[in-house]
Amino acid sequence: MKITLKIWRQKGKDQKGAFKTYQLDHVSPDMSFLEMLDVLNNDLVRKGEEPVAFDHDCREGICGMCSLYINGRPHGPLQTTTCQLHMRSFTDGQTITIEPWRAKAFPVIKDLVVDRSAFDRIQIAGGYISVNTGGVPDANEIPVPKKIADEAMDAAQCIGCGACVAACKNASAMLFVSAKVSQLALLPQGKPERKERVEKMVATMDAEGFGACTNTRACEAECPKGIKITNIARMNREYFSAMLTSYEVAAGAGGD
């Protein structure tokens, strides 16, 4: 296959970026999208040019490190992670445009690499159950209905890649935040802290500069793990009931 690549190149956070065009004429349809970029990069190195920086690690669709906005869609044309996208999803002669995630809360570090540490900070604000190691009850002491456990697992599958934010016209992180809020609100172990948790996580989400949700469902359509927007509905419910019944928490405050 022959393809033309239009790739966003940006030297650093504060530098101006621009698209650069590259031709590749020895692409195999069996290559993964990232392997295609490896080939490009090795060509560039041989020519003494600097390769394109992009994030990636496990290459099996679970670590959430890979990103890329491909032809206007996060992770490209399939509802999967970029590392699980193969070149057979494209046609010979096609032009492929590759951009980084675009969101105020995800500043570009270099080329296609963005800073997603805002996601970590939201989790640090309250995405946990406060139990120390040891001294916990036997695992079977509290039965959890299978349906509830399954639904918690559906939400827990989020890989934190940020495709939901990249897909959203408001760069909202509601799907990401609601996945953790849902998982822990559904399980009996998470109930004692459910009110503070949602308040703290939402406050941090807002402080980090993510936008509001306007129910376009673009996040759900692009999520590589199929996280449902019913989680957002559940988070809103959790949030409103917490606002009505619990004490106020300062924005961004974490910890016990």
Site for other proteins in 126-185 (CB under 8 A): 126-134, 136-140, 142-146, 149-150, 152-153, 156-157, 159-160, 183-184
Site string for other proteins, 97-126 (x = CB under 8 A): ------------xx--x-xxx-xx--xxxx
**Residue 86 or 234 with smaller CB distance to other proteins:** 86
Q: By CB under 8 A, which span of 17-25, 56-64, 212-220, 240-248 interacts with other proteins?
A: 56-64
Nearest to 205 by CA among 97, 100, 87, 105: 105
**Residue 93 or 255 with smaller CB distance to other proteins:** 255
Q: Tell me how far CA of residue 153 lies from CA of 62, 149, 191, 212, in angstroms.
A: 14, 6, 16, 25
Q: Pick the binder of other proteins from 58, 212, 233, 243 (CB under 8 A).
A: 58
> For residues 57 and 83, what is the distance between their CA atoms, to the nearest angstrom?
9
Q: Pick the binder of other proteins from 2, 12, 23, 241 (CB under 8 A).
A: 12
* Residue 95 and residue 3 in contact, taking contact as beta carbons nearer than 8 Å: yes
Q: Minimum distance from CB of 169 to other proteins (Å)?
A: 24
Q: Report residue 162 as tokens.
A: 């940020």
Name residues contacting other proteins, limited to 237-256 (CB under 8 A).
254-256
List all residues 6 or more positions away from 187 whose beta carbon is below 8 Å from its beta carbon.
144, 148, 149, 152
> For residues 248 and 198, what is the distance between their CA atoms, to the nearest angstrom?
11
Kindly state whether residue 23 participates in binding other proteins, applying the rule CB under 8 A.
no
Q: Minimum distance from CB of 37 to other proteins (Å)?
A: 10
Q: Minimum distance from CB of 159 to other proteins (Å)?
A: 8
Q: Minimum distance from CB of 126 to other proteins (Å)?
A: 8
- How long is the chain? 256
Q: Where are the beta strands (DSSP E) in 100-253?
A: 108-110, 113-114
